[in-house]
Structure 1
Amino acid sequence: MRKSWFSWWIATFFWIILFVIGTAIIWIRKVDGAGAVQTPELKLVAFIVLLISFIIPLIIQAVWLIIKLRNSNKN
């Protein structure tokens, strides 16, 4: 059981760190890859796109947590 919780925490921290790095890159950059100057509105749109892309891993992590909690209650 410990190995399963450890892997869940590792996966969770991986996604959190990846999200924080992506967010920092979006908010720090002045010009994007296409050469467009980043205004606060464009940064917000890019952040929303990043947020939407992280919804799927968030759902997977939540389902994984629910399964783990149900299994730990049975033992």
Structure 2
Amino acid sequence: MRKLWLYWWIANIFWAVIFSVGTAFVWLRDIDGAGVTQTPEAKLIAFSLLLIVFIFPVILQVVWLIVNIVIISKNKNNRHHA
């Protein structure tokens, strides 16, 4: 059971680091790969796209959290009935 929670936390830390690095990259660059100067509006659009992309991992993590909680509650119920 603890392994499931450990893996869940490791995955959350991984996604948080990736999101933080991506956010810093978007906000701190002055010129993008195409040589276009980044205005605050362009940075906001890029950040919005980054948020949209990270919605999928967030949904997966929430589902994984619910599964962990359900498994733990079933294991507690099984121990009380045994």
With normalisation by structure 1, the TM-score equals 0.98
Quote the residue 2:7 is aligned against.
7
Listed as ranges, the matches of 1:53-72 within 5 Å are: 53-72=53-72
- 1:24 counterpart = 2:24: yes
Taking only the aligned residue pairs, the percentage that are identical comes to: 56
Counterpart residue identity of residue 69, structure 2: L
Return the alpha-carbon distance in structure 1 between the equivalents of residues 41 and 15 of structure 2.
Answer: 25
Larger radius of gyration: 2
Structure 1 position 74, deviation (Å): 1.2
Q: How many residues are matched?
A: 75
> CA-atom RMSD, angstroms?
0.5
Listed as ranges, the matches of 1:28-67 within 5 Å are: 28-67=28-67
With normalisation by structure 2, the TM-score equals 0.90
Return the alpha-carbon distance in structure 1 between the equivalents of residues 65 and 7 of structure 2.
Answer: 11
Return the alpha-carbon distance in structure 2 between the equivalents of residues 54 and 22 of structure 1.
Answer: 10
Structure 1 unaligned spans of 5+: none
Quote the residue 2:78 is aligned against.
none
Counterpart residue identity of residue 26, structure 2: I
* Moved segments of 4+, more than 3 Å: none
